[in-house]
Each structure stands twice: as structure tokens, then as C-alpha cells.
Structure 1
Amino acid sequence: MSFTTEQYPGVVEARPESTRGFTLNHSMMRIKDPERSLAFYTGVLGMRVLRRLDFAELNFSLYFLDCPTEGQSTPPSDVGERTVWTFSQRGLLELTHNWGSENDPAVSFHDGNSEPQGFGHICISVPDLDAAERWFDDNGVEFIKRPDQGKLTDVAFIRDPDGYWIEVVEPARLNNLGR
């Protein structure tokens, strides 16, 4: 029998027919300074900006990023087609910049991990956690937890420019996690 879902109280095992085709497209985080955040996400994490959408009447911009992978389809050059393509992808990160926040010392964002807790983190998978740790050190990235620290080994947490936590894992090391 093929796998469908782990079963717990509240889990609906059979996917409702009306949800066929639903896809998790993106998660959003607010950023204070787009130049600083984009430098981190593109230069340190290797992501690329698929699309920027400006909403002048509402004074904000959205930046949609992904981690390019081998074999991934190529985004269209036409901005309209690329917008449609972007909203059909999986696992994107949306960075939302409210204009002027970069100049306002009162603006900061809750990381979700201090009280009151809420949003926790995003996660990046890497092919080699040791190499990633060295790369982050070379680039002055702040570690919240290194892979050899604490009870949960082989998992790291770093901090982005706005204080959000990013979990970093090497999938091959996680075979025994939760057993």
C-alpha cells in the first residue's frame, strides 16, 4: 500500500476532491531593508529573485525568491508570464518591504521564537552541513545553534538580517530523526 499521510487525531486521511491541485506556493516574511535582506538571501543562501511586485498606492514591494535546482523549469522572460509562473511554483519565499521602514529606527519584526511565540522559522536543505557551516562563518552569519550543539544534533539555526530564524539541515543526516 502506498503512503498517503501519517494519521493523528484531526487528520483527514482522504484528500477532499475539491482540494486537488492546491499547492503551497510561498511563505511571507516582512523585511526592514530590502538591499540588506536581498544581499543575504541571494549572496549567502544562493536564492534568486523571481519577481518583484511594487504596489505604489499601498507603499510596499514584494520580492519572490526561490532556491534554483537542477532540472527546474526556466522562468519566462516576459514579466507577465513570469508572474503567472511564479505563482504556480512550490516553496517560494516572499519578502515584503513596507516602504520607508529601512529609515525608521522604531521598525523591527518579531522573530516568533521569543515570547509570545508564534511563527518559528523557515528551513533550507543543504547537501553538506559542515561545508554550509564554514560558508556561513566565512560570511559572518550569526548562529543561533550550531549542528553540534544541544540535544538535537545535525541541525543548525542561523539568523537573517531581520532576526528571523532559518533552520539548516542536510537531509542525509536525518534518517534517524524522530525514531
Structure 2
Amino acid sequence: MKFTFAHNNFNVMNLEKSLKFYEKALGLKEVRRKCAEDGSFILVYLEDGESRHQLELTWLRDWEKDSYNLGDNEFHLAFYVDDMDAALALHKEMNCVCFENPAMGIYFINDPDNYWIEIIPAR
């Protein structure tokens, strides 16, 4: 028996805002979408064009709160980047850098729903 990664899911408040963020900040593109027949949810799958791993964004029509409780867990996605300086400059321009760790050579950005994404230099 063998398991392989399929996707991670983030629930989002504003699907269009999140799609624009993930495309501009990380170059992710929509590859498929599933809409509930009753309009209660939309699932959008994003890919980086390199790996098979996907990010699933879920929008829920009937979510009545103004944000998601992300708890105290330090869960996050992580991305390698081939040009750390250019990436950091872009993310600073987007005002989405939430934590820098120069000693480790990494930093984190946060998306419109405050999910953290680690940026790591390609080795």
C-alpha cells in the first residue's frame, strides 16, 4: 500500500481575492473548480505547474462569521523559490510578509485569510 499527497485545503472568505493573491504571490493557477448545485460551496484547485501537489481553496456560502479561527497550531504551507531576493521584494511590495528569520534564511507571508506560507530558498 502506498499513499501520495493529493492536496491541502484552506477555507477562504473571499474566493476571488484569494485567487488573485495566490496567483500574484506564488504563481499558482486554477486547474479545476467544483460548484455545488445549490450554490452552497465552491472548491477551486490550484497548481504550481511543477509538482503534482494542489492547494484546494474552499468558499462556503453560508459561513456567517467574518473570519476562520486558525487556532494556535503552527501549520503552514511551504514553497521553495529560485530567487529569494526577488520573492522577498515582491512580497514586501504586496505587504504580506508577516515574519522574517534571516538567521535561517526564510520568511513567511500571510494570505488574505491569515494562513501562513513559508518561503524557502531552493537548494
Map Cα deviations across residues 32-85 of structure 1 (whole Å, 9 max, x no partner).
00010000011221100000100133600100001113xx7xxxxxxxxxxxxx
Match of 2:68 among 92, 95, 109: 109
Deviations along 1:99-156, whole A, 9 cap, x unmatched? Answer: 255xx5x3211234xxxx2361111110011110011122x232221242xxx52111
Contact 1:34 1:97 in 2 (8 A): yes
Q: CA RMSD in A?
A: 1.9
Q: Could you say what secondary structure the match of 2:38 adopts? A: helix
> RCO higher in 1 or 2 (8 Å CA, sep ≥ 6)?
2
**TM-score calculated relative to the size of structure 2:** 0.88
Bigger strand share:
2
- AA aligned opposite 2:116: W
Where do 5+ consecutive residues of structure 1 fail to align?
1-18, 73-89, 173-179
The structure with the largest alpha-carbon Rg is 1
| Equivalent residue number for residue 126 of structure 1 | 81
- Indicate if the aligned counterparts of 1:111 and 1:120 stay in contact, CA closer than 8 A: no
Indicate the percent of aligned positions where both proteins have the same amino acid.
30
User: What is the aligned counterpart of 1:50 among 31, 54, 57?
Assistant: 31
Give every structure 1 segment of 4 or more consecutive aligned residues whose post-TM-superposition deviation is greater than 3 Å: none
* Greater per-residue helix proportion: 1
Query: What code does the residue aligned with 2:96 have?
Result: E
2-structure distance, mates of 1:168, 1:48: 18
